[in-house]
Homo-oligomer: A and B are copies of this chain.
Amino acid sequence: MTLHPGLEVVSGLIGTWRGDGHGEYPTIESFDYVEEVTFTDVGKPFLHYAQMTWSPSGAPMHTETGYLRIINGTGVEFVLAQPTGQTELSEGPLESKTDGFTCELRSQVHNSGSAKHVEATLRHIELAGGVLTTSFAMAAAGVPMTHHLASQMHSIS
């Protein structure tokens, strides 16, 4: 399967990544977690994305899924579904680097009728030196945009 040329700039993402993360938010106790993400090429101009996190003891925590779209080599559209009842449409510019890229994505979040209300999120994704670094801030539960999650992952397949 030939990679769509529009995805060359993020080709280093394809595969499965695993590493440790740390979460914090004003309304909860801080916590550590293990994160695994997989970006899959399906022969189209986007990558399929699947993510899972676990507590350090192995209990499942969060999961999310969606698609990463690259627009003209310079823009990212991260289209996400959350099992907690939110859709998240995160967009921002892509900055290519010699061994990867960085991007900061601002979201439109929409909440289902029964969901705890999330106002907005801010994601930073960086691939550099063989390390995938993510951070995630959100405005939710009456708290303005505040840092929530950070992880560093290495390729495992």
Evaluate whether A113 and B71 lie within 8 angstroms (CB atoms) in the complex, with A42-B60, A81-B81, A89-B87 already known. yes
| A41 close to chain B: CB less than 8 A | no
- Decide: B65 and A81 in contact? CB cutoff 8 A: yes
Shortest Cβ gap from A110 to chain B (Å): 5
Task: For A83, list chain B residues within 8 Å (CB).
Answer: 44, 46, 48, 67, 69, 79
Task: For A111, list chain B residues within 8 Å (CB).
Answer: 89
| A140 close to chain B: CB less than 8 A | no
A interface list, Cβ under 8 A from B: 42-44, 46, 48, 60, 63, 65-67, 69, 71, 75, 77, 79-83, 85-89, 91, 108, 110-115
Task: For A112, list chain B residues within 8 Å (CB).
Answer: 69, 77, 79, 89, 91
The CA of A88 and the CA of B66, in the complex, are separated in Å by 11
Among B48, B63, B77, B114, the residue within 8 A (CB) of A75 is: B114
Shortest Cβ gap from A114 to chain B (Å): 5
Most buried by B among A46, A69, A79: A79
The contact sample of 28 A-B pairs, CB cut-off 8 A, is A42-B63, A44-B60, A44-B83, A48-B65, A48-B83, A65-B66, A65-B81, A66-B66, A69-B85, A69-B112, A75-B113, A75-B114, A77-B113, A77-B115, A79-B81, A79-B82, A79-B85, A79-B87, A81-B81, A81-B87, A87-B87, A87-B88, A87-B89, A87-B110, A89-B110, A89-B112, A91-B112, A91-B113
